[in-house]
Structure 1
Amino acid sequence: MRQYETMYVLLPDLDQEETNKLVTKFQRVVTENGGEIIQLQEIGKRRLAYEIAGVREGYYVLMTYQGSTMIAKELERMFAISDGVLRDLIIRIG
């Protein structure tokens, strides 16, 4: 299994319940496909380096996990179709 680090930025105007739902949804993608989450760090609201679609802040989440390439591809797909995600980045670290 390979190790990945994923950073994603959620819309800042989501309430806490919606934010928790999205974080849990992305965690489940990893665990239900045979992966293992090593670390999940909800960094919180931070100012973006530049404005994205009129938004100046974002809710940052960093997730480190082990799993197959299929998990990373599924996460990319989920990020693309989820309304609350501003940006995402998946990096293979091992």
Structure 2
Amino acid sequence: MREYETMYILDPELDEESINGLVDKFKALIEERGGEVKEIDRWGKRRLAYPISHRKEGYYVVMNFSATPSAAQEMERVFKITTGVLRHIIFRKDK
């Protein structure tokens, strides 16, 4: 298992229930593949450095987790196809 950190920006026009649903979906995706979510830090709505899809704000979430490389690749794939995710990045933490 490797240590990862991901940051993703959600569409700020989503309601609280939809945001919670997406955060839970990404958490469950890691846990279903044998990983462990260590921390989820919700930064909330923040101004973007530049407009993305005609949006000037985004809802930021940072998640620390340990998982296999295949689970991280699956998360990358799901981020790309999920409506409501404006941007995402996954970092592998080196020791």
Whole-angstrom CA distance in 2 between matches of 1:43 and 1:36: 21
The AA in structure 2 aligned to 1:51 is P
1:34-45 equivalences under 5 Å are: 34-45=34-45
Shift of 1:71: 1.0
* Unmatched 5+ stretches in structure 1: none
* Unmatched 5+ stretches in structure 2: none
> Does 2:55 align with 1:61?
no
Shift of 1:73: 0.5
- Name the residue aligned to 1:31: 31
Paired residue secondary structure (2:59): strand
Whole-angstrom CA distance in 2 between matches of 1:10 and 1:66: 22
- Name the residue aligned to 2:3: 3
- Name the residue aligned to 1:18: 18
Shift of 1:53: 1.4
Kindly report the root-mean-square deviation, in angstroms, between the aligned alpha carbons of the 2 structures: 0.6
Whole-angstrom CA distance in 2 between matches of 1:87 and 1:81: 11
Whole-angstrom CA distance in 1 between matches of 2:49 and 2:14: 20
The AA in structure 1 aligned to 2:6 is T
4+ residue segments displaced more than 2 Å: none
Q: Percent identity?
A: 50
Number of residues of Structure 1 aligned to a counterpart in Structure 2: 94
- Name the residue aligned to 2:79: 79
Paired residue secondary structure (1:83): coil
